[in-house]
Amino acid sequence: MWKQAKSIFAAAAESEEDEELQDNLLYETDDLCNLSSTHRLYAFGACSLAGLVCMILSTIVFAIPIKFAVLFTFGNLLAVGSTTFLMGPTRQLRMMFDPVRLYATCIYIGFVVLALICALWIHSKLLTIIAILCEIGALIWYSLSYIPFARSIVSKVTIRLFDTEI
């Protein structure tokens, strides 16, 4: 009987140690996923640079719409995604789908998808170029939403220059 009680207490102690070990492992794993601010800046710079290189390389293969659209769009997504290193993916997504920039985000994502569809399935150079130009415009409009009053200033300038509002 004494051995049975001892084994029960030993099993309970082992399960507590297992839970503590699991908690410590999860904590250590969580720490591995956190980057220091210096590493975040390096990752942001590397991702932005990789995106810029992809966009520049895409101009070399401009005559081949499939390669152009894939390289350009991948570079574009890398450049936009690089900001997740600065603010984190959850906050980035929350900010992207904030009511202020919801339409700009949806239009940008739509043109990214449209550019890939035009290049990969339709194989039309003209439609791919139009979709890429619209993608660039949508990205600029999306980016302006992060700068206070930038959209209103751009709208006022376009009204003055072109007698039309964006």
- What band does 4 get if pLDDT is binned at 50, 70 and 90? low
Distance CA 23, CA 20 (A): 5
Strands (E) located in the chain: none
pLDDT at residue 32 tops 90: no
- Map out the domains of the chain as residue ranges: 1-34, 43-162
Distance CA 55, CA 47 (A): 12
- Average pLDDT (3-14) is 51
**pLDDT tens per residue across span 144-156:** 888 888 888 988 8
Q: Where are the alpha helices (DSSP H) in the chain?
A: 2-33, 37-60, 65-81, 84-87, 89-96, 102-117, 125-144, 150-162
Distance CA 100, CA 108 (A): 14
- Average pLDDT (34-58) is 90
Distance CA 105, CA 31 (A): 31
Distance CA 16, CA 87 (A): 36
**Is the pTM here over 0.85, yes or no?**
no
Share of the chain above pLDDT 90, in %: 31
